[in-house]
A and B are shown apart, each in its own frame.
Chain A
Amino acid sequence: MDGPPPLRASDLTVRYGERVAVDRLSFTVRPGEIYGLLGSNGAGKTSTIKSVVGLVRPDGGEVLVFGRDVRRDGLLVKSQVGYVPETSLLYDALTPREFLEFVASVRRLDPAAANERTHSYVAAFRLEAEFEEPILTLSNGTRQKVLLIAALLHQPPLLVLDEPLNSLDPRSVRIMKDLLRRYVAAGDRGILFSTHTMEVAERLCHRVGILDHGVLRGEGTLEALRRKVAAGDATLEEVFLRLTEEGEGVRAAVDSLGASG
């Protein structure tokens, strides 16, 4: 494809005071690709994602969504992105229907299309019983479903998902995985997917980037990463631990727990 990629971050840097959360990070989400951003807690995944959706103002570098700068063309970029945050802090006083009405209105969706998609997603995630309940009363998993529907409602060409499968029941996880694979199969869409669950990333993502203390330690397909650390048939988890040099640390931590673990 000749057009600009769904997402390109170049030398992205985010600081919180003295602490550098993301350090000159560069990566690209290609058309038709699910790109997994992997890292331990505090590795900089959420800061990276917040920079992509315009919640954090980067201290350096740039983020382009389909060639448009997030800072300069904020509104246009937001209309092309569907975002699921890590924590489901929503308008708790609204019901899912009221929340989705607000989102659909702000996104200026065609009423018929909005309704049709709402019907499909609500049925798929079995959200009917909670559709008129205030979000305040919903479980974390149900809130996550509401966020996923809100992110998919306008069929954005770029999905940015921060730990989207947390709290979901196994059925919804399966639906979501299949849905995401099909979503990018058309070829022109892209997904940035953050997780620290290696099994999910291994099965779902076309390529992954491994973040450690804000720095990209490795990037590519699982095969490419295996080659990089010279581990023939290692799992992504093993590759991850080698790249982040945490393998020894994990063993020491387990040993220190002794029998109490």
Chain B
Amino acid sequence: MTWRDAARLSDVAFTELSLQAIYAFRQGNVVPPDPAHRLVPRARRRVLESKGIVAFVLGILTFLAAYALRESSLATAVFRVPVPTGVFEAGVLTGLFSLDVAFLWWTGMQVLPTFLASGVMPVLEPLPIDDRTMRRAAALLYLRLFDLPALTVLFATPVLVGFSLGLWAGVAVLPGAAAAVGFALALSLVTGRFFVRRVQGSRGGGGATVVRWTYLVLWLVPAFAMFGLVTAAPDFFAFLGAVSIEGPSPTAHVLLAVFPFTLAVLPALAASGPAGLGLDPAGWLFLGVASAAYCLLAVWAIVWVLASVRQVSMVPPADPRAIPTPRIDVRTQPVLLAVLTKDLRIASRTPGYAFLILLPMLDALAIGLWTFVSAPDSSVAFGLALAAVTTAALLATFFGPAFFAIEVLAFSYGRTLPLSDRSLLAGKVLLVALMYLVASGIVLGITLVRVFDPAIFALFIVAELPAVVAASLLELGILFRRSRARGLPITNLYAGAWYAVLVSIPGVIVAGAPLVAFQAARIDGTPIGVLAMAAVAVAELAFAVPFALGREVS
């Protein structure tokens, strides 16, 4: 069989993969009420849109980097650091390559679990197709997951950099862009395999749980790459400035050997020459050897990826380590805690849900850390800390309805258990409240390291808590009434996502009202502001409890 046959096979597999990625039928998701013939085109369109969005973001980043390259005085103007032109160009391209790797890897980490769990390749295995064609089909299928974003990096980078720095710089940037793509594809496959075996297929037990949550936190980190880069940029350019002033040195040599700086230097050399790059003979040697090594490594990564996709896609989702003697006992819990524990356990093996749970916490961590950038005990730092708690409350509330989608996983079976709507709803609210408290606790921990008053800050967190609970009760109460009236799963992430988003709006308003009250009343002093906030939050809770947990709810 030929490449054309492999392409045809990969197209069939890609259609199935798109369908599973969007509708998750194999995870037990219900079929949406729309006509069946529309599902496949819609799934393919949505996957294309998703790839288009990532490609668009990468294109914008490349454009911004190319624009920055034309304005080398930016380093001095924005970061107040004197950096030679060539070093600045290498620094900007280092940032661009880092973001390329981060975004492509993040894309891979998003889609790989679906790719591996969908079983699209194993379905083809029993067919009378030769090994080479199967390998090619798997490789083509894998490349299609990244096609638009990867092509954007490979084409937009040389074109836009060439436009900014000249033709030869455009050519010289290609190895860096290609290496970024190659490394991201390989990282995606490695982490995808790890995910299937050690996260999705992870056994129970404390140690495995820690591994799972650690992976899931790492899984989210690339999402914060942009934030991290912006935060670290002043220090990075200050470091580059210091190294360039020092001239050739061991530090400069190490820097020249570290990806992506190594390959970012090549277009800078083509455009601005070696000034300030610390290129003594040893430096040239480091640069030459490291550049060749990274190029070879990138080629090897691509070859390895293309040769391994088929094998990896056949990996059974089970942890391959030796099986320890299991503990055959079950621990019962109060119903509320049982619902919470079940949701956390499912989330620990399901990145989509883990994302929703971890996002407010990582967001709080990111904004909380930003307070260190500002001067100690400044009102800016306090404002940032309050903003972190505010976004934690709003994010936790906004995503609350999505946690009902967990119930879709075993919708039929779950409904045959004697679990009252009230208990289920309260369990979900408990999860949202816990997310808010942990996220706020992270900010509180950071503020304790700072000098501003943690007591008033703790009161702020406590005062907002009833509003978070009220908002969740309101949202989930509305969802429950609707779904029970129609006999449908509570939310279906795809078919009914619009409704989940819609009910988030009153929820966010309820969560936000005390914050507005705080802002209005703090003119008379922060304690008054917190009191006003608490009053509004408690009033909202008094309304939400009977609405969501009243007699009409079973």
User: Residues of A at under 8 Å CB distance from B?
Assistant: 50, 53-55, 57, 74-76, 78-79, 81, 83, 85, 89-95, 97-98, 100-111, 114-115, 118-119, 122-123, 128-129, 131-134, 136-137, 147
A101 touches B331 (CB 8 A): yes
Using known A-B contacts A79-B418, A93-B346, determine if residue A132 contacts B203 with beta carbons closer than 8 Å.
yes
B346 touches A91 (CB 8 A): yes
Residue B328 CB within 8 A of the other chain: yes
Centre residue among A75, A109, A114, A147 by max chain B CB count within 10 A: A75
- Bound together, the chains give a CA A50 to CA B27 distance in angstroms of 20
A118 touches B323 (CB 8 A): no
Which of B201, B325, B335, B410 is the one whose CB lies under 8 Å from A106?
Answer: B335
Contact flags B314-329 to A (C-beta < 8 A → 1, else 0)? 0011110001011111
B330 touches A129 (CB 8 A): no
B332 touches A105 (CB 8 A): yes
A83-B413, A94-B346, A101-B331 are known contacts; what are 7 more A-B pairs with Cβ within 8 Å? A74-B554, A75-B420, A89-B412, A94-B342, A122-B328, A134-B203, A136-B117
A131 touches B415 (CB 8 A): no
The residue of chain A having its C-beta at the shortest distance from the C-beta of B324 within the complex is: A132
Contacts of B341 in A (CB 8 A): 101-102
- Bound together, the chains give a CA A197 to CA B181 distance in angstroms of 56
Residue B2 CB within 8 A of the other chain: no
Centre residue among B204, B317, B319 by max chain A CB count within 10 A: B204
A81 touches B416 (CB 8 A): yes
- Contact sample, A vs B, 19 pairs, CB 8 Å cutoff: A54-B415, A55-B415, A55-B416, A90-B413, A97-B204, A97-B329, A97-B330, A101-B333, A102-B342, A104-B332, A106-B419, A107-B418, A110-B332, A114-B332, A129-B326, A132-B205, A134-B201, A134-B317, A134-B349
B416 touches A83 (CB 8 A): yes
A136 touches B317 (CB 8 A): yes
- Bound together, the chains give a CA A52 to CA B366 distance in angstroms of 51
Using known A-B contacts A93-B346, A128-B326, determine if residue A136 contacts B204 with beta carbons closer than 8 Å.
no
Shortest Cβ gap from B489 to chain A (Å): 12
Which of B117, B323, B417 is the one whose CB lies under 8 Å from A107?
Answer: B417
B330 touches A115 (CB 8 A): yes
Residue B350 CB within 8 A of the other chain: yes
A134 touches B415 (CB 8 A): no
A105 touches B203 (CB 8 A): no
Residue B126 CB within 8 A of the other chain: no
Shortest Cβ gap from B164 to chain A (Å): 48
Contacts of A102 in B (CB 8 A): 338, 341-342
- Bound together, the chains give a CA A137 to CA B348 distance in angstroms of 16
Which of B345, B410, B420 is the one whose CB lies under 8 Å from A90?
Answer: B410
Contacts of A85 in B (CB 8 A): 412-413, 416
Which of B323, B332, B554 is the one whose CB lies under 8 Å from A109?
Answer: B332
Which of A97, A119, A137 is the one whose CB lies under 8 Å from B318?
Answer: A137
Contact flags B5-34 to A (C-beta < 8 A → 1, else 0)? 000000000000000000000011000000
- Bound together, the chains give a CA A134 to CA B329 distance in angstroms of 16
A132 touches B412 (CB 8 A): no
The residue of chain A having its C-beta at the shortest distance from the C-beta of B334 within the complex is: A105
A78 touches B416 (CB 8 A): yes
CB under 8 Å from chain A, chain B span 391-433 = 409-410, 412-413, 415-420, 423
B416 touches A53 (CB 8 A): yes
Shortest Cβ gap from B129 to chain A (Å): 26
- Bound together, the chains give a CA A107 to CA B326 distance in angstroms of 24
Using known A-B contacts A105-B333, A122-B328, determine if residue A75 contacts B554 with beta carbons closer than 8 Å.
yes
- Bound together, the chains give a CA A75 to CA B418 distance in angstroms of 5
Residue B487 CB within 8 A of the other chain: yes
Contacts of B188 in A (CB 8 A): none
Using known A-B contacts A92-B27, A93-B345, A132-B205, determine if residue A101 contacts B323 with beta carbons closer than 8 Å.
no
Contacts of B333 in A (CB 8 A): 101, 105
Shortest Cβ gap from B327 to chain A (Å): 8
B418 touches A119 (CB 8 A): no
Contacts of A133 in B (CB 8 A): 201, 203, 318-319
- Bound together, the chains give a CA A108 to CA B316 distance in angstroms of 35
Closest 9 CB pairs of A and B: A105-B338, A78-B418, A79-B418, A93-B349, A132-B203, A89-B28, A95-B204, A93-B346, A131-B326
- Bound together, the chains give a CA A260 to CA B420 distance in angstroms of 55
Which of A54, A76, A118 is the one whose CB lies under 8 Å from B329?
Answer: A118
The residue of chain B having its C-beta at the shortest distance from the C-beta of A134 within the complex is: B201
A98 touches B332 (CB 8 A): no
Contacts of B326 in A (CB 8 A): 97, 128-129, 131-132
A114 touches B349 (CB 8 A): no
Contacts of A134 in B (CB 8 A): 200-203, 317, 349
A106 touches B328 (CB 8 A): no
Contacts of B323 in A (CB 8 A): 129
Centre residue among B334, B335, B413, B420 by max chain A CB count within 10 A: B413
Centre residue among B330, B332, B346, B412 by max chain A CB count within 10 A: B330
Contacts of A109 in B (CB 8 A): 332
- Bound together, the chains give a CA A90 to CA B203 distance in angstroms of 16
The residue of chain A having its C-beta at the shortest distance from the C-beta of B407 within the complex is: A91
Centre residue among A55, A91, A122 by max chain B CB count within 10 A: A91
Shortest Cβ gap from B206 to chain A (Å): 12
The residue of chain A having its C-beta at the shortest distance from the C-beta of B26 within the complex is: A92
Shortest Cβ gap from A48 to chain B (Å): 14
Contacts of B346 in A (CB 8 A): 91, 93-94
B328 touches A91 (CB 8 A): no
Which of A98, A107, A136 is the one whose CB lies under 8 Å from B345?
Answer: A98
Contacts of B205 in A (CB 8 A): 132
Shortest Cβ gap from B440 to chain A (Å): 28
